[in-house]
Amino acid sequence: MEALVLQRKHIATWVRVLAVLLFTAATALSARISVVLPFSPVPLTLQVLVVVLSGLVLGPVGGLAAQGLYLQAILLGAPWTAAGLAGPAAFLGPTAGYLLAFPVAAGLAGWIARRSGVHPVFWRMAGSLAALATIYLLGLAWLSHFVGGPANAWRLGVAPFIGADLLKLVLANAALAAKR
């Protein structure tokens, strides 16, 4: 009688699947840890930290998958946005551009970070900054339709968050550097 044994390659696949699911859940949880800013339609959350970490840890495909799964869950009815919105309505509000940027940002962070040859810290930080720029760019483009143009979108949806988001990137990169 043959014994059922999980081969190493199958275990690695299940570990990757579990990691994607964990980053999906972490993104959902980080959305619920939010601070409402009275002057902005965009809340301050920990999502940027988790989105960037998902790309850096899981790589471009895994990061994109985790964030895509997060958006899919919202679309199917999970109230996992900072405002607790679910379904198609979550993608019609002023913060939808930020949400839609998450898979692209995670994939980009992972893709750039994988270029790490001699200077992995540099490439991880470059990937993190590119991911943040992607989130800001898509978020600003969408938000500008709600607040009267790009200048107002910058003032309300980007400028107040730059310092906190840069700190999140430093924390993400420091956590990965400490892991090594």
What the chain holds in terms of domains, given with CATH numbers, is 15-174 (1.10.1760.20)
Per-residue pLDDT tens over the stretch 128-169: 999 999 999 999 999 999 999 999 999 999 999 999 999 999
Output the pTM of the full model: 0.92
Residue 1: what pLDDT?
Answer: 47
Q: Is residue 3 predicted with pLDDT exceeding 60?
A: no
What single string gives the DSSP state of each residue in 113-167? HTT-SS-HHHHHHHHHHHHHHHHHHHHHHHHHHHHTSHHHHHHHHTGGGHHHHHH
Dihedral over Cα of 26, 32, 33, 39: its sign? positive
Strands 34-35 and 44-45, by their bridges, are: antiparallel
Per-residue pLDDT tens over the stretch 85-102: 999 999 999 999 999 999
